A = this chain, B = another copy of it.
Amino acid sequence: MKSPLHDFLAPDSIAIVGASADPTKRGYKAMIGLIKDGYGGAIYPINPKTDMILGVKTCASLDAVPGPVDLALICTPASTVPGILAECGRKGVKGAIVLASGFKETGAEGAKLEQQVLDAARAGGVRVIGPNTSGMFNLHKKVNLLALANVKAGDIGFISQSGNMLLSLVLEAEHNGHVGFSTYVGPGNQTDIGFNDYLRYLGEDPQTKVATLYVEGFRDGQRFLEVAREISATKPVVVYKSGSTEQGQKAASSHTGSLAGSYAMTVDLLRQVGVSVVQHSNEILPVAEGLGLMQKAPGKRVAVIADGGGQATIASDRLAEAGLELAELSEHTRRRLGEILLPQASLVNPVDVAGSSDANPALLAECMEIVAEDDNVDSIFLVGMFGGYSIRFAEDLLGGEMRGAESMIELARRVDKAVVVYSLYAPIKPPALRRLHEAGLPVYTSIEHAVRVLAALGERGIYLKSRAVASHAPAVVPSEDMKAMFARAQNEGRDLFEFEAKTLLRAHGVDVAPEVIVRSADELPAVAAQFGEQALVMKVVSKDILHKSDAGGVKLNLRGEADLHQAFDSIMSSCRAYDPNADIRGALVTPMAKKGTEVIIGVSRDPIFGPVLMFGLGGIFVEILKDVAFRAIPLSQLDAESMVDQLKARKVLEGARGEPPADKAALVDLLLKVSGIVSAYPQISELDLNPVIAYPDGYAAVDARIIINRSVL
A-side residues, CB < 8 A to B, are 23-24, 101-102, 106, 149, 160-165, 167-168, 171-172, 174-175, 214, 216, 242-248, 250-252, 254-256, 280-282, 307-314, 316-321, 326, 344, 346, 348, 350, 352, 354-355, 358-359, 384-385, 388, 391-394, 424-425, 427-428, 445-449, 619-620, 623-625, 648-649, 651-652, 656-657
Question: In whole Å, how far is A159's beta carbon from the nearest beta carbon of chain B?
Answer: 12
Q: Which of B163, B175, B243, B394 contacts A427 (CB 8 A)?
A: B175
Question: A348's closest neighbor in chain B, by CB?
Answer: B254
Contact of A310 among B165, B175, B246, B358 (CB under 8 A): B165
Q: Assuming the A-B contacts A316-B251, A448-B281, are A242 and B162 also in contact, with contact meaning beta carbons closer than 8 angstroms in the complex?
A: no
Contact of A255 among B282, B310, B393 (CB under 8 A): B310
Known A-B contacts A245-B320, A424-B164; the reply to A282 vs B447 at CB < 8 A is yes
Q: Which residue of B lies closest to A163 (CB)?
A: B308
B residues in contact with A245, CB < 8 Å: 316-317, 320-321
What CA separation (Å) do A36 and B175 show in the bound complex? 31
**Given A106-B344, A255-B309: A428 in contact with B244 (beta carbons within 8 A):** no
A162 → chain B, closest Cβ, in Å? 2
The answer to whether A255 and B388 have CB atoms under 8 Å apart is no
Contact B164 A24 (CB under 8 A): no
| Cross-chain contact A281 with B314 (CB below 8 angstroms) | yes
Q: A162-B309, A348-B254, A657-B623 are in contact. Are A448 and B393 (CB under 8 A)?
A: no
A350 touches B251 (CB 8 A): yes
Whether A250 and B623, one on each chain, are in contact in the complex, defined by CB atoms closer than 8 angstroms, is no
Q: Is the CB of B656 within 8 A of A316?
A: no
B317 in contact with A244 (CB, 8 Å)? yes
**Pairs A-B, 6 closest by C-beta atoms:** A162-B310, A255-B309, A248-B317, A164-B308, A245-B320, A168-B424
Smallest CB separation, A263 vs chain B (Å) = 9
Contacts of A317 in B (CB 8 A): 242-245, 247-248
Provide the residues of chain B in CB contact with A314, threshold 8 Å.
162, 165, 242, 248, 281
Return A189 CB to nearest CB of chain B, in Å. 12
Q: Are A446 and B281 touching (Cβ within 8 A)?
A: yes
Complex alpha-carbon distance, A698 and B709, angstroms = 49
Pick the residue among B214, B243, B320 that contacts A248 (CB under 8 A): B320
Known: A248-B313, A620-B649. 14 other contacts (CB 8 A): A101-B355, A162-B308, A163-B310, A164-B310, A164-B424, A242-B317, A243-B313, A244-B317, A245-B316, A248-B314, A248-B320, A254-B352, A255-B312, A282-B447
The contact of A428 among B162, B171, B308, by CB within 8 Å, is B171
Residue of B with least CB distance to A619: B657
Q: Are A311 and B254 closer than 8 Å at their CB atoms?
A: no
Q: Are A255 and B449 in contact (CB under 8 A)?
A: no
Q: Can you report 27 residue pairs joining A to B where beta carbons are below 8 Å apart?
A: A24-B358, A24-B394, A162-B311, A163-B310, A165-B310, A167-B385, A167-B388, A171-B388, A175-B427, A175-B428, A242-B317, A243-B313, A246-B320, A247-B316, A248-B314, A248-B317, A251-B346, A251-B350, A254-B309, A254-B352, A255-B312, A255-B313, A282-B447, A620-B652, A624-B649, A624-B656, A625-B625
> Knowing A308-B164, A309-B162, A310-B163 touch, does A24 contact B250 (C-beta < 8 A)?
no
Closest to A283 in B: B448
Query: CB distance B282 to A448 under 8 Å?
Result: yes
* A251-B164 CB under 8 A given contacts A171-B424, A359-B24: no
Q: Determine whether the beta carbon of A167 is less than 8 Å from that of B424.
A: yes
Closest residue of B by beta carbon distance from A149: B391
Among A24, A102, A350, A424, find the residue whose CB has the most chain B CB atoms closer than 10 A.
A424
A425, closest chain B residue (CB): B171
How far, in angstroms, from A317 to B278 measured CA to CA in the complex? 13
Give Cα distance in the complex from A442 to B40, angstroms. 44
Rounded to whole Å, the gap between the CB of A376 and the closest CB of chain B is 15
Residues of B within 8 A of A449 (CB): 282
Partner of A648, one of B161, B282, B359, B625: B625
* Minimum distance in angstroms from A301 CB to a CB of chain B: 12
* Cα separation A446 to B446 with both chains bound (whole Å): 13
Smallest Cβ-Cβ distance to A307: which chain B residue? B164
Please name the residue on chain B nearest to A310 by beta carbon: B162
In Å, the complex CA distance between A55 and B704 comes to 89
- Bound together, the chains give a CA A649 to CA B309 distance in angstroms of 37
- B residues less than 8 Å from A24 (CB atoms): 358-359, 393-394
What's the minimum C-beta distance from A390 to chain B, rounded to whole angstroms?
Answer: 12
Residue pair B424, A254 in contact (C-beta under 8 Å): no
A293 to chain B, nearest CB (A): 20
Task: Give every chain B residue within 8 A of A149 (Cβ-Cβ).
Answer: 391
Q: A310 near B214 (CB under 8 angstroms)?
A: yes
Q: Whole-angstrom distance between the alpha carbons of A160 and B309 in the complex?
A: 12
Task: Specify which of A243, A248, A252, A354 lies most central, judged by the most chain B CB atoms within 10 Å of its CB.
Answer: A248
Roughly how many angstroms separate A88 CA and B390 CA in the complex, as a whole number? 34
Hey, which chain B residues are within 8 Å of A242, CB to CB?
A: 310, 313-314, 317
- Contact partners of A350 in chain B: CB under 8 A: 251
Q: How far is the CA of A320 from the CA of B247 in the complex (A)?
A: 7
By a CB distance below 8 angstroms, the chain B residues around A346 are: 251, 254-255
